[in-house]
Each structure stands twice: as C-alpha cells, then as structure tokens.
Chain A
C-alpha cells in the first residue's frame, strides 16, 4: 500500500514538474520574441503586438506592458498583480505568482528602455488540471489496491490457517495415540504440500520403527519364555523326582546348559542392538578382509571336512576394507555356522571373495548346496528370532543372520540372499579402501 502511495506521489511530482518546465520555456520564448520585435521596430509596434495578442487570448497566454508606476498600459489588466519588487526587472527568469481570479501563473518579464516592463504570463490551470487527473487516478488505484490487498490477505491467511490447522489436528491425533493418521494432501505440489509429504514420510518411518520395536519385544518375550519354562521344569522335576546324587548332578548340568543358552541369547541381542546403534564405527580400522575370511575358513575347515562336506575357498590376496576385525570375524563365522547347521552332512559349502570390476568394491559370498530358503522367507530370516519351520527343532536362537545383517549394515555392505540352485547364497558387497 505504501508502495502504491510512493509510486503515485512520485508520478504526480514528475508530471507536474515536466509540464511546468514546458510552460516556463513557453513564456520565456514569448518574452524573448516580443523583445526582439521591440528592439527592431520600436515601442509602438510592440504595443500593437501586445494588444493584438491580448485580444486573441490564445493558449492561456497573457501579455501586458506595465508602466513605471506598474499600472497596465497595454494588455491584460490582471497582470498588474505581478509583484512590484525588483524580481522582474533584473533578469529574464520566469517566476511563479498567485493571482486573482486565476490560479497560479508563471510570468516572464523584460524591462524596456523607457522604464516600462514587458510581461508574458501563462496560466498554470492546465498543469493543475493534469495534476488533478493524475492524483485522482492515483486515489482510485490506491483505493482499489487497498481493497484488493486486504481481500487477498484475508483469503491467504484463512487458507494458511486452515492448512496449518490440518497439520496441528493430525499431530494432536497422533499424540492422542492414533499413529495411522496422516496429513491430508492437496496434490498441488506447493510448499505446503511438499511439507506434508515430508512429514508423512517421517511418520511412516517412525511407525515402521515402532512396529519393529514392538515385534522385537514380543519376540524376545516369546522366545525367552520357552527356555525359561524348560529351565523351571527341569528344576521342578529334579526337586520332585531326584533320588540320588547322580540325578541331581544331571539336573544341575541340564539347568546350567539352559541358563547358558539364555545368557547367550541375551548377549547376542545386546550385541546386535549395540552394532545397530553404530557406535562401533568410530573404532574402524583398515583391515584385510581376505585375511579375516581366511582365518575363519581355517577355523571351520576341519569341522566341515570331518562332516564329509566339500569346502571350497576362493580368496584373493589383500582386499582392504575399513572395518572392525572382531565383528567381521563374527560375521563370516555366523554365516559358516549357518551353512553347517542348516544343511545335511556332505553338502558342499563355498566361500568366495572377488574384487568388483571398478576395483572399488569387494563381493564376498558364502553359499551352500543345502535346502535353501524359499524366496518369500529370505527377507524375514534377517529379522531377530525368525526361524524357518523346519529348523525350529535344531539348536540356535534365530539371531545369527540378524547379527550378520547388522554387522554388514555397519560396514555399508548390503546383504543379498539368493538361490544358489540348489541352496542358499549370502552375498555382501563391501566398499574397498584405496
């Protein structure tokens, strides 16, 4: 609004100024022209000319010759109001003066040799008319913009408030416990719509995390109940039925084994959450992945070979990655134990590591020719406590592969489970150093 006012005032001032300068030039040149006539043809000719021009009365121009006493000798009597001070005598400048019955006038004068004064003047009526038009237009525009501005302002703030309100209402509903609520989107793709989309995505992520926490705590409760129930049963049985020291010893040994299993599960859970928290990354060093894998293979080779399984190991020399030696050792140990534990005796097991074509990645894989995992189950086995139906009866706590996934994630190596035709292939792509 202020801007409109500034623009309006400036425009008016500019227009008025231009018109005034034009009028000044006009009276200036009139006086100069008449003065030339006076010099060339004398005072009588000038008097006639002034009288004639006054009689024509054109273009709001006024002419007069004032005597020494400033009375009008010839021409427009109104010009007697030209100020009587020395202003007009000294120079041929153009001056503004107020005069009745007209409005403001611009006048130029020239003193003549007999002491009289030649005056030409122009009404500023026209200039003032233009001024009036301009300022009139300006007030109309000002009014219109005032109405329009207030209107759109109101409309805009109403819309903004409405949309903010939608966000607030959603947030309140979520706070109240309804996690499924999302901010409604207008689909216009504007800033608000994008903000809504981002907030919704964040809410989805939080929901997924909450869901996984809920699932894990359910699983923990469920999977730890079973061994605890067995432990209790063992102790109760020992208390009621043991007759000899040998009976008691056996029961104690069984209870201890059960307790050890529980402790191992707890350690694994703690370790997984610690790994997932990512704090260990700060202790990363450059390590030789091939060397780590070789050590693990060396450790398991006798067990695998004694089980009658062919064991294939293909490792290049020196494949450097940034990582944690202890965790990487555990990663490959878990994968090998998985292969050993979930395949029948005599099933071929293969460990390989190869550099990617660009030399920036190393692909490590552990594969077996066992029964494998159905495609639908492959994602799920990486979750805590998830076990395939057929392996429920085998020893294990269902945490091995989820620990592998956590360790691989920490090392920015994605885990991919695939069909080894037959069997399972677990592959990871590690970013290499240097």
Chain B
C-alpha cells in the first residue's frame, strides 16, 4: 500500500516508517501540517496516518480541510491526547480510526491494514463468507457447511467483525472497541474468553480451522474463497 505519514516528531516518524516499510508498504513522510495537506490532496494514497499536534496546521484542521475538499482517503489519527472527548472529536472531524501514543507497532500495523483494504462496497454486503462459513446479515443466521450455528448477539457481532476483516490481523483492542465499545484497556482478558467460546461453536469439529491466534498481537480469520 502507499501510505502518507504526517508526523513532526522525527524519531517517531523514523520508527513508524521503518516498521511499515518492513511490511512492504511505500511510506511518504511530511513533517508539517501544510506540507502534509499538500501531499495528501495531491497523491493517491491508500491510508493517511496523521499526528494530531502538528506545526503550522494541526491534524484536526488538516483532516477537516481534506474532508471538505472531498478527499475520501481513510485516515488514522495518531495522538498523545488520550482525553475522553479527544477520540470523539477526532472521529467527528473525519478521522476513521484513532490510536493513542504510545502504542505497540503491531497495533498500528493492524489498524493501517484494516483501513487500507476497506472496500467501499462493503456496506451493501448481505452475505459474508470464508471457506464453508457463511453469515447472512439480513436473516442474522450463521452456518458452517450445512449446519446452522446458534450464536448470541455479541458472538454474532464478534464473528461479523472477524469476517469483514478476513485475512487480516485484528488486535485485541480493535475487537474491544468494535464489539463491546470498550475504549479502555481492561485487565481481564475478556477477548480471549469470547474468542475461545466462538471457536468452540464455529471451529470445533470443522475443517479447516478458521480462527487463528496471532501471538502477541491478536486474531485472524483465514480468508479462503473455496
């Protein structure tokens, strides 16, 4: 993917840039808000990673300007502002996701990937599928092969999120935010427990095993078309 990183802290930019390039992405870097705005408006980027506090033009203003100019590129905010209202403010300005510094690099990578491959047509999908696992979003039914699987509402949401991101790593934090709306870090490993329950319903006794654990990062639902 082609990414634009707008970050004024050179050490942080170096750390993020190196990590993303190692993963095969092309990364451009702007060190100020104005420079970033110029590049973002001109270049065809898959994802913008924007620091909120920038010299010249701050991240919030930059994103608002881009959205007003009808630039629809997915945007991930990076920020040290962890205030309760700051995330909402960032999303309302037009950001698609919000990550608070300091973060684990794997978390950033997973979120960039999730934003980059978001297909615009996804909203109209009524059927999600991987291998012989099928989710009907209208009837709210799940089947594995010929067998119908009974899921509780939260389990359904969890599986739906995994299916929408099939083939990509989703982190524990992403699941907490998307499935339970937990915007904090609980001490209890509730995600693990829910995944293990879901596995026992969706994966146990079926081939292939679809839900994988990615050590130290999160989970991955394998994408197989057949």
Would A271 and B84 be within 8 Å (CB), given that A295-B180, A325-B181 are in contact?
yes
Q: Does A140 contact B (CB under 8 A)?
A: no
Q: Does B197 contact A (CB under 8 A)?
A: yes
B188 touching A264, Cβ below 8 Å: no
Q: Does B119 contact A (CB under 8 A)?
A: no
Would A299 and B183 be within 8 Å (CB), given that A274-B84, A280-B84 are in contact?
no
Q: Smallest Cβ distance from B159 to chain A, in angstroms? A: 15
Would A299 and B182 be within 8 Å (CB), given that A263-B102, A340-B188 are in contact?
yes
A327 touching B190, Cβ below 8 Å: no
Q: Does B83 contact A (CB under 8 A)?
A: yes
Interface residues of B (CB under 8 A from A): 82-85, 88, 100, 102, 152-154, 180-190, 193-194, 197
Q: Smallest Cβ distance from B201 to chain A, in angstroms? A: 12
Q: Does A279 contact B (CB under 8 A)?
A: yes
Q: Does A329 contact B (CB under 8 A)?
A: yes
Would A329 and B84 be within 8 Å (CB), given that A303-B193, A340-B188, A396-B187 are in contact?
no
Question: What residues on B are CB-neighbors of A237 within 8 Å?
Answer: none
Question: What residues on A are CB-neighbors of B187 within 8 Å?
Answer: 337, 341, 395-396
Would A280 and B184 be within 8 Å (CB), given that A263-B102, A300-B190, A303-B193 are in contact?
no
- Nearest residue in A to B184 (C-beta to C-beta)? A330
CA distance A380 to B47 in the complex (A): 48
Q: Does A324 contact B (CB under 8 A)?
A: yes
Q: Does A246 contact B (CB under 8 A)?
A: no
B154 touching A271, Cβ below 8 Å: no
Question: What residues on B are CB-neighbors of A337 within 8 Å?
Answer: 186-188
CA distance A337 to B152 in the complex (A): 22
Q: Smallest Cβ distance from B124 to chain A, in angstroms? A: 27
Dominant SS among interface residues on chain A: helix
Q: Which of A280, A296, A303, A327 has the most CB of B within 10 A?
A: A303
A302 touching B194, Cβ below 8 Å: yes
A299 touching B154, Cβ below 8 Å: yes
Question: What residues on A are CB-neighbors of B185 within 8 Å?
Answer: 264
Q: Smallest Cβ distance from A248 to chain B, in angstroms? A: 16
7 closest Cβ pairs, A-B complex? A302-B193, A303-B193, A299-B180, A298-B154, A330-B184, A299-B190, A326-B183
Question: What residues on B are CB-neighbors of A324 within 8 Å?
Answer: 84
What are 22 pairs between A and B in contact, CB < 8 Å? A267-B100, A271-B184, A280-B84, A280-B85, A298-B152, A298-B180, A299-B180, A299-B182, A299-B190, A300-B190, A302-B190, A303-B188, A303-B189, A326-B183, A327-B84, A329-B181, A329-B182, A329-B183, A333-B184, A337-B186, A340-B188, A395-B187
- Nearest residue in B to A306 (C-beta to C-beta)? B193
Q: Does A270 contact B (CB under 8 A)?
A: yes
Q: Smallest Cβ distance from A405 to chain B, in angstroms? A: 16
Question: What residues on B are CB-neighbors of A302 within 8 Å?
Answer: 190, 193-194, 197
Question: What residues on B are CB-neighbors of A299 within 8 Å?
Answer: 154, 180, 182, 190, 194
Q: Smallest Cβ distance from A158 to chain B, in angstroms? A: 56
Question: What residues on B are CB-neighbors of A90 within 8 Å?
Answer: none
Would A333 and B193 be within 8 Å (CB), given that A280-B85, A298-B154, A303-B188 are in contact?
no
